Structure 1
Amino acid sequence: MTDAVIRPARPEDAAALGVLGRQTFIDTFVAGFGIPYPAGDLSAFLDAGFSPETIATKLSEPGAAWWVADRDGELLAFSNAGPNTLPHPDGRASHAELRRLYVGKQAQGLGLGTQLLKIALEWMEAHTDGPLWIGVWSGNDKAQKLYAAYGFEKAGEYQYPVGRWLDDEFILRRG
């Protein structure tokens, strides 16, 4: 195990969350899965989604929650949940969505992802009036199996934009 502490994210975590999120996206989807994003699209997506300003805004979003795995001031992983934004006909903003569950490459295998998932699911159950939702890349079998173990089932598909590139994603639902 690790001596990391799971805690709510704080405003001063915004820059470190941006760095971790950006690197984890690259490690997972570019290096790991080999998705051939055009360089301009990838750069625009990463710059827009993981800038300190964007993360700071998202950290203060009403009805959303963030948690980090912190080891001596170094962020190793994070999760984020909030009002559902997935494009499913049964989905409502009053339902809860797990938006991100990112574990840095150096921290994989330590159980942090599962800890963060359990905390997020508990929070989601307390902050929804309907089912729970997750969007996951269609090629990420490991994540799909993890979510299935927690009762999520495929409920639909959509395309997630990374710049002008569109990833095929599955919409998962529980409840």
Structure 2
Amino acid sequence: MQLTFQQCRPDDVHALRDFSYRTFNDTFAPMNTPATMQAYLEQSFNTNKLHGELSDSNSSFYFLYAGRELAGYLKLNESPAQTDINDPHSLEIERIYVAKEFQGKGFGYVLINKAVEIAKMRKKFYLWLGVWEKNHKAIFFYKKNGFYEAGAHSFFMGEEEQTDFIMRKDL
């Protein structure tokens, strides 16, 4: 199966919204209330917000295709679009998702490697991301890929405050 990347453009907003809704919901719905999930999905993945993110020159989205199927995506932020830290020497991975049907096939590694490649091309010293403290599967994955815990910050799911670990990978 051929894997290809496509940088998202503003006219990809509906595909991005639909894929974001599905993958975020698949990942976090079992650990949150339906009301909390719905509020977050509507707030974070509506087309107006995504249009703004796609138009931000400090953010970039990449779709990963397996053949013709959308299998995953990545959102990267340079300072000042970063959700925390805002270090011009870093690149934030704000979102990294693989569709359920493609999990366990190494696509997460492919996405991480794409982020590393882009960070090096942009002459960044490190990558960082926030990961929910209760998402043990993701924490294990990031540690396996050379990330380490470097702090924590609050993350809001609707009105509910949660804690994200900040994980860093030095390049």
Q: TM-score range by the shorter chain?
A: 0.7 to 0.9
TM-score normalised by structure 2 residue count: 0.85
* Higher RCO (Cα < 8 Å, 6 or more apart): 1
Shift of 1:72: 6.0
Report the residue type matching 2:45 in the other structure: F
The 1-side partners of 2:104 and 2:33 are apart by 27
Moved over 6 A (4+): none
RMSD of the TM alignment (CA)?
2.1
Report the residue type matching 2:38 in the other structure: S
Report the residue type matching 2:28 in the other structure: F
Which residue of structure 2 lines up, in the alignment, with residue 136 of structure 1?
Answer: 131
The 1-side partners of 2:11 and 2:68 are apart by 11
Checking the alignment, whether the CA contact within 8 Å between 1:8 and 1:68 is kept in structure 2 is yes
The 2-side partners of 1:16 and 1:137 are apart by 25
Change (3 A) 1:123 1:149: same
The 2-side partners of 1:67 and 1:132 are apart by 16
The 1-side partners of 2:43 and 2:87 are apart by 23
Shift of 1:130: 4.1
Q: Which runs of 5+ in 2 are unaligned?
A: none
* Residue 68 (str. 1) matches residue 67 (str. 2): no
Is the partner of 1:5 in helix, strand or coil?
strand
* Residue 35 (str. 1) matches residue 31 (str. 2): yes
* Identity across matched positions, percent: 29
What number of residue pairs does the alignment pair up?
167
Checking the alignment, whether the CA contact within 8 Å between 1:125 and 1:132 is kept in structure 2 is no
Change (3 A) 1:71 1:129: closer
